[in-house]
Amino acid sequence: MSAQVLHSTPAPVYDVERVRRDFPILTRMVNGKPLVYLDSAASAQRPRRVIEAVDQYETHSHANVHRGVHALSQEATEAFEGARDRVRRFINASSTREIIFVRGTTEGINLVAQSYARSRLGKGDEILITALEHHANIVPWQLVCEQTGATLKVAPIDHRGELIHEELEKLLSPRTKVVAVAHVSNALGTILPVKRIIDAAHAQGAVVVVDGAQAIPHARVDVRALGADFYAFSAHKLYGPTGVGVLYGRESLLAEMPPWQGGGDMIKAVTFERTTYNDLPWKFEAGTPNISGAVGLAAAMDYVDELGIENIAAHEQRLLQVATEALARVPGLQFIGTAAHKASVISFTLDGVHPHDIGTVLDAEGVAVRTGHHCAMPVMDFFRVPATARASFACYNTEDEIGQLVAALRKVREVFG
């Protein structure tokens, strides 16, 4: 044996069967078949560690936060604020003052729209989005346009579902005050060149809001390296609980923004004449927060870091490649979204079969995919389809499951001819 071999470290092996054992739900049967869960882009499953962290908190430490001198309130506050620091480290924010707990991506984007944009924009100002956005990154901006007289501009995509960057640049001008873009498209899987977009937008003086809902489970997100002004994501797509998410905001911007909702936790002092607001980040956290959700999110981040997000991403990219090759051989299958850089999301149609019927037959085989417009109706309009079927792959999916998806699709063909 050569010295070279003796001293080389073996390449890390991604043991998907071990990963699967961390997710109790994956052992269940659906319609008499073993579950094949290919809908993680809608909501990922939780590892035992997240379930247990939430359970431990609920069983031993629950009380309201920032309110009591008693032991449980202090424990709950420590757990909640500890979770905030965990998030800060996960996305490499400078300070916990930049980490706002929200209900999810949707609420995070609405917060920026109503607090940042509504208070600053007026007639003649522009908000620029792209043609592949989720409704959560379209409608809040339409509301702001109605409220302020600003105009919504849309940068186009091409037939592969890729943003046409040159067109986006043409639409950027000193009138552009906000650029709001997805990091990854949920309907197509396209990974957008957000760093390039951020740099171009900053050159025109616009602030950039990134919808990170579909990126956070698949790639290391470093908000400082990206230079994002705002970055929103949901815990439940990152193996964490539902009903909690994060809005990262650059501290200098958050400090100047008015509160969005009024109530407990966002105040320092209230009289009938005047209220003084709390410091960051609590200024934006009115009411009792989702404490157990934050605890679960922190545990999810620990879990992802333990597996290594780069290892997860490499595993998912392998699955994406295998699935793309296998699905290409299914007669009548059309891919919707064929960008060069994609996350592990495959949208497709089958000639002559409505996507809902695909979903129903697949479900009978135990295979869970999402069907519909994926809350991205303009994307469906662009590709001239009413809906698609979408298979999405996460850290726990296997090549065998891709085989089961393909076999189930052949069943669809048998049923519908």
| Token pair for 266 | 């966002």
Q: Are the CB atoms for 28 and 35 separated by under 8 Å?
A: yes
Binding range to ligand C6P, per CB under 6 A, among 88-96, 141-149, 347-355, 370-378: 370-378
When the beta carbons of 61 and 105 are compared against ligand C6P, the nearer one is: 105
Binding range to ligand C6P, per CB under 6 A, among 24-32, 100-108, 159-167, 378-386: 100-108
115 binds ligand C6P (CB under 6 A): no
Contacts (CB under 6 A) with ligand C6P, residues 227-246:
234
List the one residue from 23, 83, 104, 144 that touches ligand C6P (CB under 6 A): 104
365 binds ligand C6P (CB under 6 A): no
When the beta carbons of 138 and 333 are compared against ligand C6P, the nearer one is: 138
- Cα–Cα dist 17/391, whole Å: 20
When the beta carbons of 63 and 385 are compared against ligand C6P, the nearer one is: 385
Amino acid at 272: F
| Token pair for 107 | 């609420």
User: Which residues share a beta bridge with 207?
Assistant: 178
The helix/strand/coil state of 240 is: coil
Q: Where are the alpha helices (DSSP H) in 237-353?
A: 251-256, 291-307, 309-328
368 binds ligand C6P (CB under 6 A): no
Binding range to ligand C6P, per CB under 6 A, among 63-71, 101-109, 267-275, 304-312: 101-109
Binding range to ligand C6P, per CB under 6 A, among 27-35, 104-112, 263-271, 404-412: 104-112
Contacts (CB under 6 A) with ligand C6P, residues 333-362:
none
List the one residue from 91, 127, 171, 182 that touches ligand C6P (CB under 6 A): 182
When the beta carbons of 54 and 244 are compared against ligand C6P, the nearer one is: 244
- Cα–Cα dist 44/205, whole Å: 36
Burial class (CB in 10 A: 0-12, 13-18, 19+), 11: exposed
**Paired sense of beta strands 367-368 and 36-37, if any:** parallel
Q: How far is the CB of 246 from ligand C6P (least distance, A)?
A: 11
Q: What does the angle CA 41 – CA 45 – CA 47 come to, to the nearest 5 degrees?
A: 140
- Cα–Cα dist 73/75, whole Å: 5
Q: What does the angle CA 378 – CA 382 – CA 384 come to, to the nearest 5 degrees?
A: 110
186 binds ligand C6P (CB under 6 A): yes
Given the residues 26, 152, 313, 375, the one annotated as active site: 375
Closest CA to 188 of 332, 338, 326, 314: 338
46 binds ligand C6P (CB under 6 A): no
Burial class (CB in 10 A: 0-12, 13-18, 19+), 292: buried
| Token pair for 212 | 């990170």
213 binds ligand C6P (CB under 6 A): yes
Q: How far is the CB of 1 from ligand C6P (least distance, A)?
A: 50
Site string for ligand C6P, 129-168 (x = CB under 6 A): -----x-xx-------------------------------
Q: What number of other Cβ atoms are within 10 A of residue 170's Cβ? A: 10
- Cα–Cα dist 371/41, whole Å: 12
When the beta carbons of 77 and 396 are compared against ligand C6P, the nearer one is: 396
When the beta carbons of 182 and 206 are compared against ligand C6P, the nearer one is: 182
* Burial readout 79-90 (b: 16 or more C-beta within 10 A, e: otherwise): bbbebbebbbeb
The helix/strand/coil state of 403 is: helix
395 has catalytic annotation: no
42 binds ligand C6P (CB under 6 A): yes
List the one residue from 98, 211, 285, 316 that touches ligand C6P (CB under 6 A): 211
Q: How far is the CB of 185 from ligand C6P (least distance, A)?
A: 7
The helix/strand/coil state of 390 is: strand
210 binds ligand C6P (CB under 6 A): no
Counting every residue written for the chain, the total comes to 417
When the beta carbons of 133 and 229 are compared against ligand C6P, the nearer one is: 133
- Cα–Cα dist 88/84, whole Å: 6
List the one residue from 77, 110, 115, 214 that touches ligand C6P (CB under 6 A): 214
Contacts (CB under 6 A) with ligand C6P, residues 49-88:
none
Q: Which residues are catalytic?
A: 375
| Residues forming the site for ligand C6P (CB under 6 A) | 41-42, 104-106, 134, 136-137, 182, 186, 211, 213-214, 234, 370, 374-375
